[in-house]
Structure 1
Amino acid sequence: MVNVTISAAGHVPLARGLPITATFDEDATVADVKSYVTAKFPQFYAARQKLSLKGDRKALADNSTLKEAGIEDGGELSVKDLGPQISWRTVFIIEYIGPLLIHPLFYHFPKVFYGGPVQHSTMQKYTYAFVMLHFLKRVLETVFVHRFSHSTMPFFNVFRNSAHYWLLSGIALAYAVYRPAYSATSPYILGTIHNNPNFLFACGALWLFAELSNMHTHLTLRSLRPAGTTKRAIPYGYGFSFVSCPNYYFEVLSWVALAVMTGSYTAWVFVIRNLGLGSVRVTLFDWYPRGGRGSSNRWPV
């Protein structure tokens, strides 16, 4: 048996009774300690807790035993309140639902945003279909495909994470591509490559290839992690032999197809942001053999 003192790291309003001392079996895990804290302070649920060794900021893994963590009889742990939490799955759905709500508004109600009707060009129709299908696919993958290493994240981060999708690929992109300047009667469209069926078909084919390839890599990653675990493994096969993160690569490629098709500066800004910022970090030019510099461990959570 191991006696452990659990003290507060900083301000922990939901556990004002800390510090407390508890007795655990030697094979008890960090998750067991969190459950004990929750039993004492019901509002301080496990996802809000960060347990560390006294004087150390590094979080202890939930599946680590007290012995593995270096806790001996009379040892002390510090618990930090991470604040309100929200599930990663819910965060993803909130992010992707934004464009699914925003694009139909700009497309179907142009009088509200542009002051008059818009006779949509074929290019605009393609763009609308591509955007809606892309984010519908992302929602379905979030619900039925993705498995997450961490169950939750701080609630207030959802606003920062969602801004990328709601503002840039939502409002900014929708306003730019459905405006009269891209309509069927616009000089930008009439007699140009943006009204050429072969060009639009080629862009559509590239987009479809990228979307299906992206889905394939997500299914490959899912197969590496049994349900209910945080197991990690090295993926092989389609895409993974050429780039470190083919799921991100194909994601960006699909947006490149849309940006080329529309010629919209806003679409290109979204591509560039996907390359270097936000939740999508792609290693687009990382063409090294597996085991070399390109074989990173940057897989999605």
Structure 2
Amino acid sequence: MANNLKSTVRLTHRNPKRPIKGLPASVELADDATVEDAKILIARQAGVKDFNRIGLYDAVSKETLKNRKARVRDEAGVAKTAELVVKDLGPQIAWRTVYLVEYFGPILFHLLIPLIRPYIYVVAPFAYKDEIETPLTRVQWLLFGLFHLHYLKREYETAFVHKFSANTMPARNIVRNSAFYWLIGGLLCALDVYAPNSLAARDALSPLDCVGLALYAAGEAGNWAVHRHLASLRRPGGTERAIPNCVGSSLVTSPNYMFEVVAWTGVILISRSWTVVVFICAGTYFMRAWSRDKERALRNAFGDRYKKKRYTMLPGLI
């Protein structure tokens, strides 16, 4: 039976200097209305075509209401003040599209640089005059495969495995988000790894390369297993949280990040490239913050039912 109980919630602008034209002073929300329901209703009444543009905030804490499936009446600030703070977030883009675009950059550059190699390494600042007669070595071809395997796996997971708690993000952020992968993981790493004088420009595999290959395989397999497990914890279209119980979860909060670092450590050992070191160090900086946010969220959501982790990403370090 549908819930016919309704309550009036006042609406105020988060940014009075850039108000939403047509925003009503208040809306009538059903007792069981979710944050997403409220966005849809507000967008309809304000004449905003894409409800994902509507950002809702707690009137007391000023924090965004992230869980789109949470009931509005269960939000503490809303219950206390009967008020929602509203902001137009601007044009939106689906999170799934964002990740597909991000990971396409490295795939593109790690294809492009080997193809145009005879034409770029014979000019400044490279100026390797014999480049046309210097083909990629076996180790460079191995790295070519490892880079593509990693990012094709990422594209597959984005398209078919991951379940996103948020529908969209501001479209303007895609350039910032993609720059890290396109410019560092893609262009910079490819230019160094496939260069004629690269430390990867060798044919024989050393014991260190074999160790790197083993780390890469273990890291990618572990990362894949964790991503599959995390996806299984959420229903399609759901935003619910659950306590992870998979390989590595007894050690750290985010074992997927741990295995990511393991895999890239393997690439570092094989490539000996400073660019790969820069890439994974920068990535670790971001993953460190995300893993700590996840630990905080799990503690808040499950309290004593959740076994708190001392390390959120790398055992003994982070």
Please report the TM-score for the alignment, with normalisation by the length of structure 2.
0.79
Match of 1:146 in 2: 162
Structure 2: unaligned runs, 5 residues or longer: 1-5, 123-130, 293-305, 314-318
Match of 1:23 in 2: 28
Match of 1:161 in 2: 177
Match of 2:281 in 1: 272
Percent of pairs with identical residues? 33
Instruction: Give yes or no for the alignment of 1:104 onto 2:104.
Output: no
Tell me, in whole angstroms, the C-alpha distance in 2 between the residues paired with 1:223 and 1:138: 17
Tell me, in whole angstroms, the C-alpha distance in 2 between the residues paired with 1:155 and 1:233: 29
Of the three residues 220, 233, 240, the one matched with 1:211 is 220
Match of 1:130 in 2: 146
Deviation at 1:257, TM superposition (A): 0.8
Tell me, in whole angstroms, the C-alpha distance in 2 between the residues paired with 1:258 and 1:39: 50
Letter of the aligned partner of 1:89 in structure 2? Answer: R
Letter of the aligned partner of 1:8 in structure 2? Answer: H
Q: Are the counterparts in 2 of residues 121 and 182 from structure 1 also a CA contact under 8 Å?
A: no
Tell me, in whole angstroms, the C-alpha distance in 1 between the residues paired with 2:80 and 2:248: 50
Letter of the aligned partner of 2:21 in structure 1? Answer: R
Change (3 A) 1:25 1:145: closer
Deviation at 1:122, TM superposition (A): 1.2
Could you report, residue by residue, the CA deviation over 1:266-299 in whole angstroms, capped at 9, with x for unpaired residues? 111122222223688579xxxxxx82443759xx
Whichever structure has more helix as a proportion of its residues is 2
Match of 1:67 in 2: 73
Change (3 A) 1:248 1:123: same
Change (3 A) 1:159 1:11: farther
Tell me, in whole angstroms, the C-alpha distance in 2 between the residues paired with 1:31 and 1:63: 6
Match of 1:287 in 2: none
Deviation at 1:107, TM superposition (A): 1.2
Letter of the aligned partner of 1:47 in structure 2? Answer: N
Match of 2:232 in 1: 223
Deviation at 1:124, TM superposition (A): 0.4
Tell me, in whole angstroms, the C-alpha distance in 2 between the residues paired with 1:237 and 1:198: 31
What is the DSSP-based 3-state SS (H/G/I as helix, E as strand, rest coil) of the residue aligned with 2:32?
Answer: coil
Q: Are the counterparts in 2 of residues 48 and 85 from structure 1 also a CA contact under 8 Å?
A: yes
Instruction: Give yes or no for the alignment of 1:119 onto 2:135.
Output: yes
* Correspondence 1:256-295 to 2 at 5 A: 256-277=265-286, 291-294=307-310
Match of 2:250 in 1: 241
Match of 1:35 in 2: 40
Tell me, in whole angstroms, the C-alpha distance in 1 between the residues paired with 2:86 and 2:226: 38
Deviation at 1:111, TM superposition (A): 1.6
Tell me, in whole angstroms, the C-alpha distance in 2 between the residues paired with 1:277 and 1:241: 22
Tell me, in whole angstroms, the C-alpha distance in 1 between the residues paired with 2:22 and 2:183: 43
RMSD of aligned alpha carbons:
3.0
Deviation at 1:92, TM superposition (A): 0.6
What is the DSSP-based 3-state SS (H/G/I as helix, E as strand, rest coil) of the residue aligned with 2:74?
Answer: coil
Instruction: Give yes or no for the alignment of 1:49 onto 2:49.
Output: no
Moved more, 35-44 or 194-203: 194-203
Instruction: Give yes or no for the alignment of 1:93 onto 2:100.
Output: yes
Q: Are the counterparts in 2 of residues 252 and 275 from structure 1 also a CA contact under 8 Å?
A: yes
Tell me, in whole angstroms, the C-alpha distance in 1 between the residues paired with 2:168 and 2:245: 28
Deviation at 1:9, TM superposition (A): 2.4
Deviation at 1:255, TM superposition (A): 1.0
Please report the TM-score for the alignment, with normalisation by the length of structure 1.
0.83
Structure 1: unaligned runs, 5 residues or longer: 284-289
Q: Are the counterparts in 2 of residues 3 and 73 from structure 1 also a CA contact under 8 Å?
A: no
Change (3 A) 1:123 1:281: farther
Deviation at 1:13, TM superposition (A): 6.2
Change (3 A) 1:215 1:64: closer
Moved more, 272-281 or 244-253: 272-281
